[in-house]
Amino acid sequence: MKYIKYIIELVVAFSVVSCSDYLDLKPLSEETSATAYDKASQIEAALTGTYESFQSDHYIWNNIMFQDIRSDNHYAGGDNPEIFEPDLLNISTTNSKVFQSWSNLYNAISKANLVITKVDGVTDPSLTEARKNQIKGEALFLRSYHYYNLVTLFGGVPIILATNSTLPEDVRVARSMPQQVFDQILADLDVAISLLPDTYGKDASVNKARATAGAANALAAKACAQMPGHDYARSLKYIAKVEASNAKYTLLSDYNQLFDGNNYNNAESILEIQFLGGDEGNWGPQMLLPPSVSGDTWRKFATPSHNLIDAFDAEGDEIRKNATVLFENVDWVDEFWGNAIGSSIPFGYKWKNADGWASSDRLYILRYGDIVLLKAEALNETDQLAAAVVEVNRIRSRVSLPDLAADKIASKEALRMAILNERRLELAQEAQRWDDLTRLGLAVSTMQNLVEVDLRTGKPMNYNMTEAKVLLPIPQQELDRNPALVQNPL
């Protein structure tokens, strides 16, 4: 894929490079080690190579698997036992998808570290100090985002800030505590916020493709809420900066436009992956969409759950339901939706165009709708219930739902659950659900109380959820190579 080429062609002063120029940083560093990145084109190539990490397997697929399939939102599908493990909450230490995500994220961090440490040494007069600061800010944001994914998935992880290592086992670094990782994330983001602009001009396809102050503030707000201790007051301060941004983020009036494929880089988007299709395409939609859309006839790798569909129906939420799932009769047996060929089952539908594994359908890395509901949560948790209700009702209004009923706002606890449910309906298939459950300490109770019936046996599933299963296991490959690592409880 050539995500780097897309960005470079759009941004003034970027040099055009091919995919092979940036996918492997080792040849790039060897080529420039004698000059220590003294050309603007070299550091720009390294930066945009860091953006390319958003097209890794982790962000295209694994994050959905570990957030939506692992939770009450989706079942696994297809024929890969390693995808059924998250669904059954029985993830092995040798699961290749776990190792893949760990490796993808640390590889991305390594690329960001290189940019952060090398940019100040660039002597090319065509690279202004202003641009140097932007580059550093972008790389700091990217490093923070990848660490955010690591700490929410694995808990405490090794913090690697140097450039002489690709993966943590190379330097035998022990795991930091989760709070230390969040502290590093927020420290990086505070610097990034001071260095990044609200926009890079008037071109939305540039502003939504690159890290901005708005993106850094949004991620900082999420980190403050997610970290141990949940600093919601600090989260609200970052959210205020998002809302005061000159980027003028706002909710789209039509929820469907977020996912119809015709309105990307919109006013609600804070940051999104700029898939263009073809050799710059997204293969994720082919994993989800039904035969009538995907053009194939095999069972898909994620199926919306009865529990999720019931949640939409309980709210009368037809708009978000129809934007999120599509029902179709299939030529295979689904053990939850119809234990017979020809049954009607739902398919994930926020991506709507498969295009033979090369879709232009995009992923929102950050969008304002998420931040509005995070604001509601933070207001509620800081005892500002009336203000929190206003934010939730903004989200409900655009999908033609009535304001929250009296019983939903009668107490802090009731409103907390109403906001959690709203986030579920708003953000299904956007890799948010597991983080939401763990943040509120509800992962164990939610999965233990989940009733999903296997139609082959007529018996409900036993997910045997425990606190030890909240985090992913550290990959066995990493434990074998780095004796300083300690496994999560299993």
What's the pTM value of the predicted model, to 2 decimals?
0.92
Give the residue, 405 or 12, on which the prediction is more confident: 405
Q: Six-digit token pair at 469?
A: 């299963």
What mean pLDDT comes out for the span 418-433? 98
Does pLDDT of 383 surpass 90?
Answer: yes
Q: What is the pLDDT of residues 286-315, one digit of tens each?
A: 999 999 999 999 999 999 999 999 999 999
What mean pLDDT comes out for the span 185-190? 98
Q: What is the pLDDT of residue 15?
A: 31
What mean pLDDT comes out for the span 452-464? 94
Q: Where are the domains of the chain?
A: 3-61+93-277, 368-455
Rounded distance between C-alpha atoms, residue 368 and residue 268, angstroms: 5
User: Among 57, 9, 18, 83, which residue's Cα sits nearest to residue 283?
Assistant: 57
Query: Considering the chain, what percentage of its residues have pLDDT values greater than 70?
Result: 91
Does pLDDT of 27 surpass 90?
Answer: no
Q: What is the pLDDT of residue 382?
A: 98
pLDDT-derived band of residue 170, with 50, 70 and 90 as boundaries? low
Rounded distance between C-alpha atoms, residue 459 and residue 336, angstroms: 11
Give the residue, 338 or 165, on which the prediction is more confident: 338
User: Among 40, 80, 39, which residue's Cα sits nearest to residue 57?
Assistant: 80
Q: Which residues 6+ apart lie within 8 Å of 480 measured at CB?
A: none
Is 235 in contact with 221 (CB distance < 8 Å)? yes
Which backbone phi and psi does 8 adopt, to 5 degrees?
-65, -40
Sign of CA dihedral 207, 208, 210, 211: positive
Q: Does domain 3-61+93-277 have CATH number 1.25.40.390?
A: yes
User: Among 148, 213, 168, which residue's Cα sits nearest to residue 479?
Assistant: 168
What mean pLDDT comes out for the span 104-112? 96
pLDDT-derived band of residue 78, with 50, 70 and 90 as boundaries? confident
- The DSSP letter of residue 76 is E
DSSP per position, 360-374: ----EEEEHHHHHHH
Q: What is the pLDDT of residue 344?
A: 96
User: Among 262, 247, 257, which residue's Cα sits nearest to residue 215?
Assistant: 247
Residue 329 forms beta bridges with which residues? 344
Q: What is the pLDDT of residue 279?
A: 84
Q: What is the pLDDT of residue 404?
A: 98
Q: What is the pLDDT of residue 440?
A: 98
What mean pLDDT comes out for the span 393-415? 98
Q: What is the pLDDT of residue 166?
A: 52
Q: What is the pLDDT of residue 169?
A: 52
What mean pLDDT comes out for the span 206-213? 97
- The DSSP letter of residue 383 is T
Q: What is the pLDDT of residues 274-291, one digit of tens each?
A: 998 888 899 999 999 999
Is 75 in contact with 87 (CB distance < 8 Å)? yes
Q: What is the pLDDT of residues 366-378, one digit of tens each?
A: 999 999 999 999 9
Integer CA distances (angstroms), 345 to 75, 152, 342, in order? 12, 31, 9
pLDDT-derived band of residue 155, with 50, 70 and 90 as boundaries? very high
The single residue listed with the structure tokens 């007051």 is: 233
Task: Please state, rounded to an integer, the average pLDDT across all residues of the chain.
Answer: 91
DSSP H helix total and E strand total for the chain: 21, 8
Does pLDDT of 18 surpass 90?
Answer: no
User: Among 234, 483, 227, which residue's Cα sits nearest to residue 378?
Assistant: 234
Residues of 106-116 as b/e, b for ≥16 C-beta within 10 angstroms? Answer: bbbbbbbbbbb
Rounded distance between C-alpha atoms, residue 118 and residue 113, angstroms: 8
